[in-house]
């Protein structure tokens, strides 16, 4: 199957079967989403969602973060991965937003990456989710799934290389939601260690399945019913 055909099949399937796809982080405004995404680095959305209600309640604006300190904020974040760094990032982020952006969340990738704790991936998430901009955030799920499906080449070694290939080939109007399609498929079907290939609804255009179909079917046939 040609790459062009894979992309067409990818878009066709998800536009019909997942026309609405959103982040699983819980938020009510751009500020809350920014905080949640910064906290979600190398941490599950589920864990972040357990911690953010208290943060949003007691630090409801960038101004509240800017006027806080490490000892005050850290207890809210200590159950999340890398709490020391993330506490420092949020404090710096709050101050930067107040001092340079009048407490407003920037709407461009170029401005967002100036904030502490905000890299290109986070900036792409914010701009695509909040403003539906055609930006592709490449996390571990997007990186893995796009390569397995055959949407990007195997020699794409960095998130930026994957991002560029996806942006080039996905129609502009679908880019912001395609990010969620790839993430959710990777989170629930195309798992890192044991992808659920034989129950995957898009295996018919998946390069990984094409190459491993025989061995996957043989493995399935040797498993006892309780393991299937």
200 in a labelled binding site: yes
43 in a labelled binding site: no
Q: How many CA atoms lie within 13 A of 191 on its CB side?
A: 9
Cβ atoms 21, 181 nearer than 8 A: yes
Tokens matching residue 15: 């536009």
Q: Let me know if 222 is exposed, middle or buried by CB neighbors in 10 A (0-12, 13-18, 19+).
A: exposed
**What amino acid positions are annotated as catalytic residues?**
121, 139
Rounded Cα distance between 131 and 140, Å, is 23
- Please name the residue that has the structure tokens 């536009």: 15
Q: How many CB atoms lie within 10 A of CB 162?
A: 22
Rounded Cα distance between 49 and 124, Å, is 20
133 contact partners, CB below 8 Å, separation of at least 6: 127, 176
Q: Tell me the CA end-to-end span of the chain in Å, nearest whole number.
A: 29
Rounded Cα distance between 16 and 35, Å, is 32
Annotated binding site for [4Fe-4S] cluster: 190, 197, 200, 206
Annotated binding site: 190, 197, 200, 206
């Amino acid at each position: 199957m040609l790459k062009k055909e894979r992309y067409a099949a990818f878009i066709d399937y998800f536009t019909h079967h997942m026309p609405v796809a959103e982040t699983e982080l819980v938020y009510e405004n751009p500020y809350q989403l920014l905080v949640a995404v910064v906290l979600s680095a190398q941490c599950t959305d589920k864990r972040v969602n357990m911690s953010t209600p208290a943060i949003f309640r007691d630090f409801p604006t960038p101004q509240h973060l800017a006027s806080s300190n490490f000892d005050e904020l850290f207890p809210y974040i200590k159950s999340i991965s890398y709490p020391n760094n993330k506490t420092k990032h949020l404090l710096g982020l709050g101050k930067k937003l107040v001092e340079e952006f009048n407490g407003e969340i920037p709407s461009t990738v170029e401005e967002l990456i100036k904030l502490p704790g905000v890299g290109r991936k986070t900036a792409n998430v914010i701009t695509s989710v909040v403003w539906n901009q055609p930006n592709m955030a490449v996390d571990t799920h997007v990186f893995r799934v796009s390569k397995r499906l055959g949407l990007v080449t195997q020699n794409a070694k960095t998130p930026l290389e994957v991002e560029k290939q996806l942006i080039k080939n996905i129609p502009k109007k679908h880019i912001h939601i395609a990010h969620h399609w790839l993430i959710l498929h990777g989170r629930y079907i195309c798992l890192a260690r044991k992808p659920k290939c034989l129950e995957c609804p898009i295996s018919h255009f998946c390069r990984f399945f094409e190459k491993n179909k025989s061995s996957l079917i043989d493995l399935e046939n040797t498993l006892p019913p309780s393991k299937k």
